[in-house]
Structure 1
């Protein structure tokens, strides 16, 4: 069998045989640690109840217990009067001063932390409270900064050295540095290691996604990106609160979550390299061995040579637009530039909504372990719904409705009486449900918006925008310490705006994937007439042709 187009290979192997099932399941299995790698900070960086540590005193005790009203000033927080967490009275009651005139001072002797919920967290370990309370959310941002850097170079590394090797190197590094993280001796050391974990974690995710897309057939790829990758990611999120409930010490929790990752290493002998990548590197014999083994696994008796050295080297070359494309092509024409700007904005807001609400779980009413478990479990349902919508409904309409609905729910929280805690928690959970579905849908939608010649670059830019959203997301949860509804107002307003912008993106459902920039469908502006659309398309085509001619002249 001579295959001139590699896309014929999955058809030759069948769409859903034992080979495809094993690749689908094993690659999806590797994503489980990603589900809790960053969200573990919900428990690791939660702030226990605390107050200033008081020096031993015998003149202000009641029944052997220090009378806090004589030692700690009272502050008003969210309408309630509570003891200060960051100050204490400088003078004793015996100094002849009343409570209104006594001077206060910072917690010079450190803090006392409640152990009702946690044995220890990084907050209680390194006193990340009061003047240093910014370090908690910043630590989460550091993790996402690592993801941003990892997303920039992981594709280059996998293109250079191969999908499989980078996948397993990333998994090994994630395991090693997660174990080292357990022994962190300072907040700075923890942050540096957490940055590295974010770096290798996103590298593993991207390479795993690419490898699965190249090994599986066209009809299985959407299921792989939603039911496979997203469902197993949600499974990792479900596992997290279960472990955290039984393990209340942050070091032991990290250890328990990190050790099972060692079990992934034997998968090296069961997950193959991408034959498509091997062909692009001229390693035809290795690609032949993998496809022949896959055919045998699927019960296909075949002895003929599948790939021929000369023809398959030629078939891997692009057959359409021959000139080199760069990131500038994403903004060179007005249509693709507008698509890129709006897609980046939607990615940022979806990321802010998903992670912002995830890190707000400790601030919600009720048990944080139950809230986290329910939140993660509902994600599984959201990914199934996203998969159904991707198969049956227009992309832009479905995505816009979900994002707007999530935003409106958050905006409505401000009119709910503050004592209706259960209702507020339910509305927040439903909103996160919507953001999770939107996140999985926008992966597929963005890949369909861009033409083949710049699809990887366009998808990479959108993914980088998502990392920006995740970096700032912890501070939305942090705003709750100042105003309970402010994060909901900000996220809700931005989500409604993002949903409206989704409606002007081109529709891709049921449409063939564009191959060149000229084939990209125009934006759908409500005030735009048909003649204006044609004029814009012709203008963009002219710009692209001029760029192509300039490159030809240079050659």
Structure 2
């Protein structure tokens, strides 16, 4: 069979053999990593139930935590729930000594001057509760997450240019390692500026670390199997990651350790240098046919196929521009 396009080579090396199965597993792994990077920050900045902490001098009173809460925190008139950001401003010791009624609607109300208490019965310490990004400071987690996506919007064209200039594989590895380093470092952030800056670095990489490898892997699967390669990892492993991640956060019960657990697996992508092929489309557009031939020889060997000399010869003279147009048309359809 004549080799007119890159897809014709799959008749000789196998369209979905052991080689492609390995790439399929890589795709599944990348989908789980995408979930961790994209949604992990929601669980790092989760807001536990909270209310104003009582004045420190009330600690000498023989009151339970619930009694202190009932004494110092007003309730919402509509829901009956305790206020999150307001407390009474009265002489609480005098109230107790005179046996006055608690929860008097006429008492003056103020903001939380003594910090906050958090309910961790169904939650866990997050950076939001650690740094008290609540009430007047509740804009901070939202801004940090928004800037994550702003960074992604700004950096995507830059990484796209880099992928065209240096190759897909180096950019995939670099973006994952940068995202992992920034994500792990964010676990040790102790200020809003530090946390936001590190999350922005993660945001710069998150689109590239997933999409480029996703498209690259499709190139090494014959057309009849591309639906499987493209959709099954998303439907199964992306969904699995979404289902598992909340339980991981609850089990770990610490936002810092959770951040490390979300980003440390990205470090595995350093092994892509030796295990994942460079984009055939990019190699051929650069005229590097020899490298592409080396990749298809490896794929054929792993799939148990023997490439005849005439097949290699025909592939070597394959028009790279014709191949490039063919792949682009395939991707668009």
With normalisation by structure 2, the TM-score equals 0.85
Name the CA distance, whole Å, in 2 between partners of 1:189 and 1:112: 24
Q: Deviations over 1:238-289 (max 9, x none)?
A: 3313322321111112223333333332232121112222111011111111
Q: What is the CA distance between 1:81 and its match in structure 2? A: 1.0
Name the CA distance, whole Å, in 1 between partners of 2:246 and 2:313: 49
State the partner residue of 1:142: 147
Secondary structure of the corresponding residue to residue 82 of structure 1 = coil
Secondary structure of the corresponding residue to residue 84 of structure 1 = coil
Name the CA distance, whole Å, in 2 between partners of 1:5 and 1:122: 53
Q: What is the CA distance between 1:186 and its match in structure 2? A: 1.0
Name the CA distance, whole Å, in 1 between partners of 2:30 and 2:297: 25
Q: Is the 8 A contact 2:48 2:118 kept in 1?
A: yes
State the partner residue of 1:539: none
Name the CA distance, whole Å, in 1 between partners of 2:47 and 2:159: 34
State the partner residue of 1:392: none
Q: Is the 8 A contact 1:154 1:207 kept in 2?
A: no
* 1:83-232 map, 5 Å: 83-93=82-92, 94=94, 99-232=104-237
Q: Is the 8 A contact 1:15 1:216 kept in 2?
A: yes
* 1:357-506 map, 5 Å: 452=329, 455=332
Q: Is the 8 A contact 1:284 1:307 kept in 2?
A: no
Identify the match of residue 286 of structure 1 among 288, 291, 294.
291
Change in Cα spacing, 1:132 to 1:300, as seen in structure 2 (3 Å) is: same
Change in Cα spacing, 1:203 to 1:59, as seen in structure 2 (3 Å) is: closer
State the partner residue of 2:72: 71
State the partner residue of 1:470: none
For structure 2, the residue ranges without an aligned partner over 5 or more in a row are none
Q: Deviations over 1:375-409 (max 9, x none)?
A: xxxxxxxxxxxxxxxxxxxxxxxxxxxxxxxxxxx
Name the CA distance, whole Å, in 2 between partners of 1:64 and 1:239: 37
Q: What is the CA distance between 1:454 and its match in structure 2? A: 10
Change in Cα spacing, 1:38 to 1:155, as seen in structure 2 (3 Å) is: same
State the partner residue of 1:44: 44
Greater relative contact order (Cα 8 A, min sep 6): structure 1 or 2? 2
Q: Is the 8 A contact 2:148 2:199 kept in 1?
A: yes
Change in Cα spacing, 1:231 to 1:142, as seen in structure 2 (3 Å) is: farther
Q: What is the CA distance between 1:120 and its match in structure 2? A: 1.1
State the partner residue of 2:252: 247
State the partner residue of 1:312: 319
Q: Is the 8 A contact 1:121 1:249 kept in 2?
A: yes
Q: Is the 8 A contact 1:38 1:143 kept in 2?
A: no
Q: Number of paired residues?
A: 324
Q: Deviations over 1:493-538 (max 9, x none)?
A: xxxxxxxxxxxxxxxxxxxx4xxxxxxxxxxxxxxxxxxxxxxxxx
Change in Cα spacing, 1:268 to 1:239, as seen in structure 2 (3 Å) is: farther
Change in Cα spacing, 1:280 to 1:166, as seen in structure 2 (3 Å) is: same
With normalisation by structure 1, the TM-score equals 0.53
Q: Is the 8 A contact 2:123 2:250 kept in 1?
A: no
For structure 1, the residue ranges without an aligned partner over 5 or more in a row are 320-446, 456-512, 514-555
Secondary structure of the corresponding residue to residue 51 of structure 1 = strand
State the partner residue of 2:14: 14
Q: Is the 8 A contact 1:3 1:312 kept in 2?
A: no
Q: Is the 8 A contact 2:36 2:263 kept in 1?
A: no
Q: Deviations over 1:337-381 (max 9, x none)?
A: xxxxxxxxxxxxxxxxxxxxxxxxxxxxxxxxxxxxxxxxxxxxx
Q: What is the CA distance between 1:176 and its match in structure 2? A: 1.3
Q: Deviations over 1:473-494 (max 9, x none)?
A: xxxxxxxxxxxxxxxxxxxxxx
RMSD: 3.0
Q: What is the CA distance between 1:224 and its match in structure 2? A: 1.2
State the partner residue of 2:33: 33
